[in-house]
Amino acid sequence: MYLRTSCELSFEIEVPTPVVLMLRPHSGYQQQLIREEFRLSPDVPMVEFTDDYGNLCQRLIAPPGEFSIATAAEVKTTERVDLAAGAPHVEVQNLPDSLLKYLLPSRYCESDRFGVMATEIVAGKSLGYDQVAAIEQWLRERIQFDPGGSDIPVSAAEVNIRQSGVCRDLAHLGIALCRSLSIPARLVAGYRYQLEPMDLHGWFEAYVGGRWYTFDAV
């Protein structure tokens, strides 16, 4: 299936402002980038780099006045995400070195605070994919998706208290729960086909059975 995405952001800048953008998609498993557009207005010098997580980042200084970013891309993608019920848990000692960082607690994913809760959520499930699927279902049933309901980033612990959040918040809680079970998990940002209302969207991936799988509680 072919999809076309676009995004336009406009700002009123008061003083020269350093900016790091992460708006360019890239090819990967189940997705191939066919063509891409990226425009800055006014056009300013920009340096691109790849961060430690594989994101394509654009670094620039936004000048005072009206400043806008416009991106568009056409991608070829699969119609459905892969499912793998029963895919096994990968023990920590067998994980690639590059994935160990996805086990650690972070500012928005305090996985060290969710061990007991995660164990209760996945009780009786086979280790690995089935545990993550149980977490995804628990999020869908227990945490209300509230688009536009949060104008600042909040942590997994705060989302659990509020029992509601935007897509990013549900993903943060899912990541924290997975990591507390020693399952590598990471945030992904992009577009979800037929999402209503359409917007930049956040979900999470978990590493089980030797590869990353997509999970989205929205």
Number of H helices, E strands in the chain: 4, 11
Q: In this structure, which topology does domain 92-215 adopt according to CATH?
A: C8orf32 fold (3.10.620)
- Say yes or no to pLDDT of 27 above 90: no
Listed in order, the ranges of the chain carrying CATH 3.10.620.30 are 92-215
The string of pLDDT tens digits covering residues 116-160 is 999 999 999 999 999 999 999 999 999 999 987 777 889 999 999
Listed in order, the ranges of the chain carrying CATH 2.60.40.2250 are 2-77
Per the rule left: phi > 0, alpha: psi between -120 and 50, beta: everything else, 65 is left
- How does residue 26 score in pLDDT terms, banded at 50, 70 and 90? confident
Which amino acid would we find at residue 31? Q
> Which class does domain 2-77 fall in?
mainly beta
The string of pLDDT tens digits covering residues 31-53 is 899 999 999 999 999 999 999 98
Cβ-based burial of 73 (10 A; exposed 0-12, middle 13-18, buried ≥19): buried
